[in-house]
Structure 1
Amino acid sequence: MCFRGISVVTGFGLAVAIGDWTRFTGSTIGSYLGLTPSEHSSAQSRPQGPITKAGNTYARRLLIDAAWSHARPYSRPGVRLLRQFEKVDTPTRTRAIEENQRLCRVWANFDARGKRRVKAASAVARELAGWCLVRGRATAAISG
């Protein structure tokens, strides 16, 4: 919940929808959620299409909704994030601030290149899924 767009409802929804986080790797979580681009490859060409939309629709929607919050500039954490940061240790807080800034830069890079905003949302959602995977695995390891 230290990321912009990830609240109690989103975090709980992802935990329920994903279930066992340990069955995924960084590259397979995006595929499971349908956040990877489709591909129509033949010979030397490898054109990529829209996201596959395979997998869990609910979890994909939660992440894409969360990704839209990174479209706004990020200069400092808001009130909700500051309250959440008080509940976590310093390395987690520092990493979350850095990642929130990085995800905003990713979005800004898509805007600067003239890409469609829905593509930026999908890309940021895929990266959020990877970070949720890291946190979900850590929580699973702690709880046993």
Structure 2
Amino acid sequence: MGLDVHARSVAAVSIDGVPGELLQARLSPDHDHIRSWIRQLPSPVAVTYEAGPTGFGLARILNADGIRCVVAAPSKLQRPAGDRVKTDAKDAVHPARLLRLDEVTGVVVPSVEQEAARDLVRAREDCRGDLMRARHRLSKLLLRHGIVYNGGQA
């Protein structure tokens, strides 16, 4: 099955193995809601969704439940030429079909500690960038008013 995961909703598409029948649903982003919907499907179930800003919590929960979950690298998903219409349902069907063909390139799901460290590093880099932009804005404002600081480090 394929998921198109967003902060407020999840589009889910399941492909039945034998007849190839599509089963679509609009789910809440609550992990328990997603798990309960997946449990209703005939076994075995494999799930895929694109890596994104929602993180890897869903993949960790599904893998811990014994449900194979592959987090797909968005840059590695092959898109058909000329396929420019984007809907949540189409974005869920495409990775589901690729997973069925075993054509999904997965990313490594980091541990909770690794993801927290990455978040901390990203937050620090953002703060440093904000500080540098503020310093440059202030120095250019002062320069436009003829104030130049020459006493060492700014």
* TM above 0.5: no
Query: Who wins on radius of gyration, i.e. which is larger?
Result: 2
More helix by proportion, 1 or 2? 1
Q: Which has the higher contact order (CA 8 A, sep 6+)?
A: 1
Q: TM-score by structure 2 length?
A: 0.27
